[in-house]
Amino acid sequence: MTSLVLWLILAVIVVVFGIQMVGGLTSLLFSLCIGAVAGWLAGTFMRGRGFGVLKNILVGIVGAVVGRILFGLAGFHGAGIIASLVTATVGAIVVLYCVQWIQSS
C-alpha cells in the first residue's frame, strides 16, 4: 500500500510539472492517455519486468514526460499520435529499466 501511495505522489508531481511543460490541460490529458498506453506497451515489451497494469500505466505517464525530455535533448520533435506514442513508450522503457536497476542494487 505504501508503494502505491509513493507512485501516486510521483504521478501527481509529474502531472503538475506536465501542465507547465506541455502548455495546457487538454494537451496534458492527451499526454496522459498516450502515457497510459505507452506504459502498457512498455510492460508488455519488457516481459517480466513490469509492475502490473496500474503501476505500468503510472510508469508510462512518467515515461511520457521522460521520453519527451530525452527526445527533445536529442533534437527530435515529432508531431502526431504515433510520434507521441513512440516517444512515451521509449521513455517508459527507460523508466522501467531505471526502476529495475535501483531495486536490484
Q: What is the pLDDT along the chain (105 residues), one digit of tens a residue?
A: 567 777 777 777 777 776 666 566 677 677 778 878 888 888 888 766 556 667 777 888 888 888 888 888 888 877 778 888 888 888 888 888 887 787 777
Please give the Cα distance from 75 to 55 (Å, whole number): 29
Asked if 43 contacts 67 with a C-beta cutoff of 8 angstroms, the reply is no
Tell whether pTM > 0.75. no
- Residue tagged 501516486 (cell numbers): 8
Q: Where are the domains of the chain?
A: 27-104
